[in-house]
Structure 1
Amino acid sequence: MATPLTGSRKRKAPAIEGADASSLSEGPLQPKRQKRLVTRRSLVYYLKGREWGTQSWEGLQGFEDELCRYTVQRLPELLQERELALGTLNKVFASQWLNARHVVCGTKCNTLFVVDVLSGQITRIPLMRDRVPELARAQPSCGIHAIELNPSKTLLATGGENPNSLAVYQLPTLDPVCLGDHNGHRDWIFAIAWMSDTVAVSGSRDGTLALWRMDPDMFNGSIAWHNDAGLPVYAHISPVHVETLPRSSTTSSNIKVRALAFSGKNQELGAVSLDGYFHLWKAQSTLSRLLSIRLPYCRENVCLTYCDELSLYAAGSQSHVSFLDLRHGQQNIRPLCSREGGTGVRSLSFYQHIITVGTGQGSLLFYDIRAQKFLEERALAGQDSFLEPTGRKLKLTCGRGWLNHNDLWVNHFGGVDEFPNAVYTHCYNWPEMKLFVAGGPLPSGLHGNYAGLWG
């Protein structure tokens, strides 16, 4: 049962300039929305409209789908980087678009902030504290590894000041709603997935999955959110269900949940653990395990994504991406090799049939699932020719970012001036055709950051 904490020592989180509820929620379609295509001021749509006839919505819809598929495949080679300055923050581990202009990020130095990708302005968001802050301070801070928005984009889930606790904020204001610090995880939260607008699952280094249910009254105005001093008040909640990952016979150490991905169509939750296994759970009012599979490449499986269109999971390891199509006996797509010097696949995302791979070498690769090959660079074959594939894999390389030239850098890394920035997180804003990419130097001892807007 959620109970409010009176007098929490947190200031009200600043609202994001330029953000409004309409930009973050999916309202009902307006009347006659379907005629939008035939009235666009585009020569392409005008000619297609004449070809199909203005009354043929099905034909134009099919053309738009075809055009979208073409755009998804051609966009990566057109992207150009603009670096964003993040000051002295250390390694961005997680990011999500809030709207067309703002991205929320979490860092290794336990900072939650919003960056305006147009102006570069950074707004820090206060973290929520446990009811017993002394216990939180006893936990070494690993940073914020996960940020997820619920389906309606009205709530944001991430970590608290204590990395073991789940923090939920309301959008678009980023006011604190509740903190999961009762009877939850005993170690750092590495992954979060929303199963509905009010139910989330977190995965921890302690080898457990915790299912949290948010009471709608907490964010519908039925609780007084501010005390007499004007400080925000948030509820403290407990998980409604906790499951422990099964231990294999070869596992000698504790199993660590590293990444989660949810299938809304099948109501199933996938999880990867650092002992090299993929686990599948039926996600309803509780979690019930369906299966556990040993991954073909089991070293450093740190990211997982799911494609609804293809009903396909993809898990990233030290050198490969493994695919799991559970409809057809676990796996019928051969793994892809990142070929990036064994530095690892650090982030993954699906959009239609293209999977984007962020590596530890500071590069982005793009893989076509249907063709089962990487997208290739294109060049003019002749003066009167169209762009033709060159046979070279398309690779976008991130900029230098910022690196702290401290004593550790001098003594342990020989004062090397440049290190590739691992792409720990990336996220697309497809309506704007933009890609946000962030991370930092791969060696754990180095302090630095990278963020860039590709468009």
Structure 2
Amino acid sequence: MAEQQSRTVKVKAEEEGNGSWTTTLSSLGSREAGQGERPVVAKRQKRQEVRRSLVHYLKQREVGAKVQGFQGGMSGYVVQRLPEMLRERQLFLGTLNKVFASQWLNARQVVCGTKCNTLFVVDVHSGHITHLPLLRDMAPYVAWAQPTRGIHAVELNPSKTLMATGGKNSSSLAVYQLPTLKPFCLGDREGHTDWISAIAWVTDSVAVSGSRDGTVALWRIDSDMFTGSITWHNERELLMYGHIRPIFVEAIPTSSNSMDNQKVRDLAFSAKNQELGALSLDGYVHLWKAENNLSKLQSVRLPHCRDNLCLTYSDEFSLYVVGSQSHISFLDPRQPQQNIQSMCSYERSLGVHSLSTCQHIVTVGTGRGSLLFCDIRAQKFLEEKSSPDPDAICSPTGKKLKLSCSRGWLIHDDLWVNSYIGMQEFPNAVYTHCYNWSELKLFVAGGPLHSDLYGNYVGLWS
């Protein structure tokens, strides 16, 4: 009986968390011995009540009802249980190619950037798409004649009054006002020489961009710093915006002579520590103190160096999370480098292409068109439940919880006919995903993993 109660308390601790990465059976057993049998029964009753409340909320939301006081103490439980309740509704984008970046603008609109250099807003209720004008560099500029490299980053500032992304020239930083989405300014002077791969807001008026040219640039979005303005016409309206230059540019440190290894793949910012992390292709996370400029702190070598593609930051645990070809690594700058923890993503060779964190759960988008969910506290991936009943105490199945995306759209052109027609599988990489937690919705997008295939995938999971 005591052993059964000990296992019950352990399951409870893993689901609700104790603020640490790992909870040992012995510590839980000691706690149980001090409390006796009666508190365990009370906790079980409370757990069942919470589960019924979650189901009730989801049903009420389906009919448009509002449930007050839902966030509060249930938020951790929702983050834990939501992934297994999500169901896909595929959206259709027409002939756009590969969605690389996305952000929720409000409860029903998501802004996206694509490989074909298109910036658009999609209404997740109606599926309607609105294209946004791309901001052009001040003429003359030779990059106009170069092939477009796509929009790889879209980020909203903390107050959601400005949105930063790429311009017509992929190496320029375009800023739009929110909620109007009117052009505000374009960073096209003395900035990057290759496409912008990542953007992070430091404050409401200061943004950092990272580029394939191996640099990070600090931009102050302030009308007093505009060096000039231009106007240009299209068929509908006259657009006016300022042109700015970065106030600080820093090169990524490199451990080799190859410039290719200096490419910045992703950025993550810790507001609590005022610290910026930059992930480079050669398998390093570089840390800066981000204020009026970038003050170098340290460079940390990652244990897995192949295809480090994405980086995010967990405020809950003060950890950087890195996605590589086959692993997820957890970097704590306060600990020695040899203490970096890693977990195999179980999607070998196709890689981790997008990451996000909320409380103790890391959502992982893979190159195989699937979503995995990692529990930082338990240091393991969430598993499928043995029973669909949300009120039942389920035993682990040992099978990882995985949400598989639909096939999306793929153009069957001459290249596909000549090179891929015999293939049975064309995985859509999950290049981007973002949550709307107030609505319990997850927006997922991407496209064919093979770089020369043309297509897209977008799904709303709710």
Q: What is the TM-score when the length of structure 1 is the normalising length?
A: 0.82
Distance change in 2, residues 1:281/1:377 (3 Å): same
Tell me the SS of whatever aligns to 1:73: helix
1:340 equivalenced with 2:343 (yes/no): no
- Aligned counterpart, 1:324: 331
- Aligned counterpart, 1:173: 180
1:423 equivalenced with 2:430 (yes/no): yes
Deviation at 1:295, TM superposition (A): 0.9
The match for 2:277 among 270, 289, 293 is: 270
CA distance in structure 2 between the partners assigned to 1:43 and 1:418 by the alignment:
40
Tell me the SS of whatever aligns to 2:357: strand
The match for 1:192 among 190, 199, 210 is: 199
Tell me the SS of whatever aligns to 2:84: helix
The runs of 5 or more residues in structure 1 that have no matched partner are 1-41, 46-59
1:453 equivalenced with 2:454 (yes/no): no
Q: How does 1:139-218 map to 2 (within 5 A)?
A: 139-215=146-222
Tell me the SS of whatever aligns to 2:419: helix
CA distance in structure 2 between the partners assigned to 1:326 and 1:110 by the alignment:
36
The runs of 5 or more residues in structure 2 that have no matched partner are 1-50, 55-67
Distance change in 2, residues 1:226/1:312 (3 Å): same
Deviation at 1:142, TM superposition (A): 1.4
Q: Contact between 2:171 and 2:194, CA under 8 Å: does it hold in 1?
A: yes
CA distance in structure 2 between the partners assigned to 1:86 and 1:76 by the alignment:
25
- Aligned counterpart, 2:444: 437
- Aligned counterpart, 2:412: 405
Deviation at 1:210, TM superposition (A): 0.6
CA distance in structure 1 between the partners assigned to 2:283 and 2:264 by the alignment:
10
CA distance in structure 2 between the partners assigned to 1:450 and 1:334 by the alignment:
32
The match for 1:232 among 222, 236, 239 is: 239
- Post-superposition Cα deviations, 1:230-263, rounded to whole Å, max 9, x if no partner, equal 5121000000000001121464645101100001
The residue type paired with residue 202 of structure 2 is M
Deviation at 1:381, TM superposition (A): 9.4
The residue type paired with residue 158 of structure 1 is T
CA distance in structure 2 between the partners assigned to 1:173 and 1:217 by the alignment:
21
- Aligned counterpart, 2:249: 242
Tell me the SS of whatever aligns to 2:75: helix
Deviation at 1:380, TM superposition (A): 2.4
- Aligned counterpart, 1:36: none
1:120 equivalenced with 2:127 (yes/no): yes
CA distance in structure 2 between the partners assigned to 1:252 and 1:235 by the alignment:
32
- Aligned counterpart, 1:91: 98
Deviation at 1:302, TM superposition (A): 1.1
Tell me the SS of whatever aligns to 2:246: coil
Deviation at 1:413, TM superposition (A): 1.1
CA distance in structure 2 between the partners assigned to 1:235 and 1:409 by the alignment:
43
- Post-superposition Cα deviations, 1:190-209, rounded to whole Å, max 9, x if no partner, equal 00000000000000111011
Q: Contact between 2:301 and 2:337, CA under 8 Å: does it hold in 1?
A: no
Which aligned runs of 4 or more in structure 1 are off by greater than 3 angstroms? 42-45, 63-66, 216-219, 223-227, 249-254, 330-333, 384-388, 415-418
Deviation at 1:420, TM superposition (A): 1.2
The residue type paired with residue 285 of structure 1 is N
Distance change in 2, residues 1:131/1:196 (3 Å): same
- Aligned counterpart, 2:82: 75
1:393 equivalenced with 2:392 (yes/no): no
CA distance in structure 2 between the partners assigned to 1:118 and 1:279 by the alignment:
40
Q: Contact between 1:325 and 1:331, CA under 8 Å: does it hold in 2?
A: no
- How many pairs are equivalent? 396
Deviation at 1:437, TM superposition (A): 0.2
Distance change in 2, residues 1:189/1:385 (3 Å): closer
Q: Contact between 1:209 and 1:243, CA under 8 Å: does it hold in 2?
A: yes
Q: Contact between 1:400 and 1:418, CA under 8 Å: does it hold in 2?
A: no
Q: Choose between structure 1 and 2: higher helix proportion.
A: 2
Tell me the SS of whatever aligns to 1:326: coil
CA distance in structure 2 between the partners assigned to 1:133 and 1:388 by the alignment:
65
CA distance in structure 1 between the partners assigned to 2:377 and 2:339 by the alignment:
12
- Aligned counterpart, 1:136: 143
The residue type paired with residue 104 of structure 2 is W
The residue type paired with residue 160 of structure 1 is G
- Post-superposition Cα deviations, 1:365-416, rounded to whole Å, max 9, x if no partner, equal 000000001101012299x954432111000000010000000111111254
The residue type paired with residue 106 of structure 1 is G
Q: Contact between 2:171 and 2:193, CA under 8 Å: does it hold in 1?
A: yes
1:357 equivalenced with 2:387 (yes/no): no
Question: Which of 242-251 and 294-303 deviates more?
Answer: 242-251
